[in-house]
Structure 1
Amino acid sequence: MNNSRIACSLLILLFISSLGLSPAAHSISANSNKSARTMITSQIETPIAIGSNPELAQLSTAGVGTRSDPYIIEGKVISAVNCIYIHDTTAFFVIRDSEFTYTPNELAIIGSAVVRFDRVEHGTIENCYVRGGDISIEIRASTDCTIRDCFAIDSYAGILTDSSDNCTIIDCSIFGNTIGARIFSSDSCNIINNSIYSNNQYGVHVYAFCENNIIFGNMIGWNGVHNAVDDGDNTEFTDSVSIGNEWSDFNSSAVYSIQGSGSSIDPYATKLTDETRPVVLGHYDLVIDVESNGETLTWTANDTFPSHYQIYVNDELVEDSAWDGRDIEFSLDELGLGTHTIDLNVTDGAGNVGRDIVVVSVISFILGGIGTELVMVASGITVACFVIILLLVKRFA
């Protein structure tokens, strides 16, 4: 009987000691910072197609369609092949404070425009973020239209005016495209006070048979082949008084000549320079649970000429994308057990690089982070001891 009691006592002691293998609660977890611009599904709306003044009035939230009180369409978040298509209208309207992105994230359909005005008079798009597509913003067969304070990035043509007259592109950021701004079969258009840079071929291209277009006050630089090409007639790269453009390839000892058959010059050209690398707010090293979902790294970075970023995991490139100046978010869900080095490189238009390196340790919180092998050994010893004690109980019972 005493032996049975001893055996039972050993069983209880073994059970209590096995509890000691259970980990204490961990207080270290991934940073839960999220981008301030993270969208939720309910925010994303369906594409907008408008083909008459009454339809404009129906979909607007304010205004009466006059120059002094235009129709207002605002606060839209749309992801589609064609997000906005407005055609055959004459009323004054403004689309503003919205975000339009080409989806799916595949090679853009040739001729697709994320935002398109077709046979429109008096249309304006203002303070909008437009990304992707074959064309980000297209003004076709239209007059008196304005693109103001918009982002047009990550497409073949950032902004295109096609067979359109008296249109203005002003205060926009146009980068990460094949061609930044294209003026095609259009007359008397203005490109004023824009940042046009880091486009793969040309910053600005004025095609043949375009007349009397004016381009001044812009920062044009670091475009792949030429900063500008002018094949048009009577294109002016000045306000005709004292303002020209800033060019990254300007040599102050010579007159700045524009490439192309138009034989244009910028008599008031100045040098565009940027020797300041992007500022990246560093991230703390992290410890996360291998079973967790939705963990991310979020970096805030700033620069006058944001261009693109790359993310390496353990020296392997896993993400390469246009950077629009907003927060950069990277999912940690695919990381396996172990220690991983996450290397962010942020590059601006001039080629300056900002960098941050974060070490992320992925462990099993259930196992206390002590290592799978050690836990398996401890479990094996526990089972062996349990069997031995059962045999002792049976032997002395």
Structure 2
Amino acid sequence: MTRARLHGLARNPALPVEALLRLAADDRLDIEDLTTFPAAPGRRGFTDAAFDALAAHPDPQLREALARSSGATGAQRARLVGDLSIAVLHAVIEGPADRWADPLPTWAYRRLADHPEPVVRDMLTYLPGTPRDVIVALARDPHPRIADAARALLRHTPAQPATMGRDQAVSFAESTSPWNRAQAAADPELPAAWVGVLATDPEPQVRLAVSMRPGLTEEQRAAIPVEIGPELPVPAWVLAAGPDELRRCARSAHIGLRRSAACHPELPADLIAALAADTDPTVRLLLCEHQPAAPPDLLLRTHLESDDDDLLRHPTFPCTGLARLASSPEPRARALARYDDAAPAPLIDQLSHDPDPAVRAAVADDPRLPERRILELLDDPATATPAAANPQLPRPAMTALLTAAGVP
């Protein structure tokens, strides 16, 4: 349990910086212990003092992990733009894997665009997030490869789906390989006669590809027997669809087209509302995963249906009205009650005695808990880590944990 407690201490916002640096030098903790924060709505991450202390650490691998940490804000990660390690700068530009991570400020991209190393400037042309005005500046870069890459980005228009060409599409349609025939079935230049042939192909993946081609009527799609599984490809033409075509996809009887429409980067509010009421749970999940304006009530319901903890980081995940879930028969729902800022301290204390260890762990770092209860949770293996992260953990208890663990 020693490592569990030290892991919690490392992300305790009330831990003195000097103690954090002592933990960073302890072999029992790895980099993930120092830089990983659990997904939670509105959950705090690094304090500025803690981030700055780790950002000055001599280990570049720790700084690289810090640049990718979902516990850091974009403004904090931007403080690493002057790092001497190329790997750290790559991590700064790439950012956290979390879809809803706080973005870097524009000034950070502009400063990196002036970096003396071409490899750093080049990263801005293929890693996500680079603002258009920075790409415009890079199109005038003295390094030809960087300038060409930036100009290609500026010219890029996804309006037309890729094609292998008519002759190659026919060749693939004649193939004995189901994969080849499926590629042909999706190609926009496949002749209409072959579209009809592949619509009755014995392989389900081929028929599915035909059914998701652009230009078909609803009747034509419905006439193709398809098998809809949990995983479906998202056609590029749907992601690039204009308003009218996108509307047809969102209102289609074909589940695959509705799922694809849910991923569209410019889905209008009325279609978000329509897909939020879709009968297909995967449509609703994709909507939550791809739309920053997904309705809060949908996020809550989908999180409880899907067990997708990443949804807890979504910018519109509700943080009000969750206290009502404390009486739910479902442990996952009860655990969410602690994220309600208006939940009274007695309710949080009640949840810390919940029979389910996951619920107790969810509330163990809540500062509304009384000191006595935090210390009790610290001695429970199921709650030791979050209890050690509780900012109301008394300073003498922090010191005692470090001493008992032999942290130098």
After TM superposition, is the score higher than 0.5? no
Higher relative contact order, structure no. (Cα contacts within 8 Å, ≥ 6 residues apart): 2
Name the one with the larger helix percent: 2
Name the one with the larger strand percent: 1
Larger Rg: 1
